[in-house]
Amino acid sequence: MAYGVLSLLRGGLTGQRHWRPVWRDAPPRPHYDIVIIGGGGHGLATAYYLAKEHGLANIAVVEKGWIGSGNAGRNTTIIRSNYREPGNIPLYELSMKLWEGLEQDLNYNAMVSQRGVVNLFHSDAQRDAYARRGNMMRIHGVDAELLDEDGIRRHAPFLDFANARFPIKGGLLQKRGGTARHDAVVWGYARGADQRGVDIVQNCEVTGLQIAGGIIKAVETTRGVIGAKKVGIAVAGNSSRLGAMAGLRLPIETCALQAMVTEGVKPLIPGVITFGAGHFYISQSDKGGLVFGGDIDAYKSYAQRGNLPVIEDVCEGGMALVPMLGRLRVLRQWAGNVDMTMDGSPIIDKTPVEGLYFNGGWCYGGFKATPASGFCFAHLLAQDAPHAAAAALRLDRFRSGYVVDENGQGAQANLH
């Protein structure tokens, strides 16, 4: 089904009864050329680009719940490419370029809104660090603009500029950054993949991997054994569980990352604003709610819920930056399980098991990377060689020492 003004008008005249499911809820077949484990944004994007860019068929995406029910439905929908490390920038900038053409490509409204992302700084040293980051971005062809205090006042006059401890000195603005609608991204990729013959198998949890002689043979699931020539893991949050099925110990800890949303209000927050003195970031959804979050809960958790001290810490950061937040009520609070790697950067690589490929370790940054993650992972699966934009994101970089440590925190996963 093509979306357009005409079909919408026709639907308006016939009581909107023309809507049909846009992808099949496929039963698993006994064998596929490629099985992607994980029906989130990354897995579905991978399947979509495998079919579209590499012309492959006979692909399945298996998902333990319903598609988009994990982190794809729990993030804060921010898209940006304001990174500093040469190993990271190309991937996130490729992602930004794909975001910019995504809706035309999928013919699906993903509500991509380039409303700007600004990172505030509060000291001279922080200004130097952000100036350096901005320069790194511009060297790589990414837009970046260093704003002084007046620039920030024009952009967001409601911030607490008079804060005695953390005065706002300025910020680094990426105008092309912004937000997108997370569910629509999942549905758009699912529809695009389904149209190209990909089987999307839901309620199908992987319980084991069949490996013989160091080669992947099949995945065991709650809906039977599915044979596969190649298997791609895209289950960030549960990567270590899948890794353990293949006998791999990964450089990953799983932690809970919380987010909150307030009641809906009129347009208030321009774009995305991040606090430089604490960990706090905020944006406004198209529905009007203020969406915000901050640090992860520091300990390992698969519970998909966090603890109160972190909520308190995030809200304290919010009150320090945007005092008017205190007048709003928080409607909902939730958590997703994120893969925290030992350098804070993701992994898109082959594994020591032949035919088994790994995509994970997305830390805080999975949603914005969805298109490029799928694009690069599809390239790896189809060509058996890394895409240039993801060449640094290797699994063995920890052993070899070529880590991509954006914050310089070292191998302490909960600090990234």
Instruction: Determine the angle formed by the axes of helices 41-54 and 182-195, rounding to 10 degrees.
Output: 40
Tokens of 377: 């992972």
Cα–Cα distance for residue pair 71/38, rounded to 1 Å: 11
Among 194, 199, 253, 349, binds other proteins (CB under 8 A): 253
Report the C-alpha gap between 285 and 307 in whole angstroms: 24
Alpha-carbon dihedral sign for residues 293, 255, 74, 312: negative
Binding-site member from 75, 238, 258, 345 for other proteins (CB under 8 A): 238
The residue within the footprint of other proteins, chosen from 309, 352, 354, 384 (CB under 8 A), is: 309
Q: Which of 300, 323, 353, 405 binds other proteins (CB under 8 A)?
A: 300
Nearer to other proteins, 140 or 241 (CB): 241
409 near other proteins (CB under 8 A): no
User: Is 40 in a helix, a strand, or coil?
Assistant: coil
Q: Please select the residue that binds other proteins; options are 246, 342, 372, 376, rule is CB under 8 A.
A: 342
Q: Which stretch binds other proteins (CB under 8 A): 35-43, 144-152, 186-194, 294-302?
A: 294-302
Contact between 250 and other proteins by CB under 8 A: the answer reads yes
Class of residue 214 by CB neighbours under 10 A (exposed 0-12, middle 13-18, buried 19+): exposed
Select from 144, 236, 252, 257 the one that contacts other proteins (CB under 8 A): 252
Longest dimension (CA), the chain: 65
Question: Site mask, other proteins, residues 67-106, x = CB under 8 A?
Answer: ----------------------------------------
Determine if 399 is a binding residue for other proteins (CB under 8 A): yes
Structure tokens at 194: 């389904």
Four-CA torsion 108, 109, 114, 119, nearest 10 degrees? -90
State how far Cα 254 lies from the chain centre: 15
Q: Report the alpha-carbon distance of residue 341 to residue 359 in Å, rounded.
A: 12
**Surface-to-core class of residue 366, CB atoms within 10 Å of its CB (0-12 exposed, 13-18 middle, 19+ buried):** buried
Which of 301, 345, 359, 370 lies at the binding interface for other proteins (CB under 8 A)? 301
Other beta carbons less than 10 A from residue 1's beta carbon: 12
The one segment of 85-93, 195-203, 267-275, 299-307 that binds other proteins by CB under 8 A: 299-307
Nearer to other proteins, 134 or 237 (CB): 237
Candidates 82-90, 164-172, 296-304, 354-362 — which segment interacts with other proteins by CB under 8 A? 296-304
Q: How many residues bind other proteins (CB under 8 A)?
A: 24
Contact between 98 and 106 (Cβ < 8 Å):
no
Query: From the list 1, 139, 303, 388, which residue makes contact with other proteins (rule: CB under 8 A)?
Result: 303
Residue numbers of the site for other proteins (CB under 8 A)?
238, 240-241, 249-254, 298-303, 307, 309, 342, 398-399, 411-414
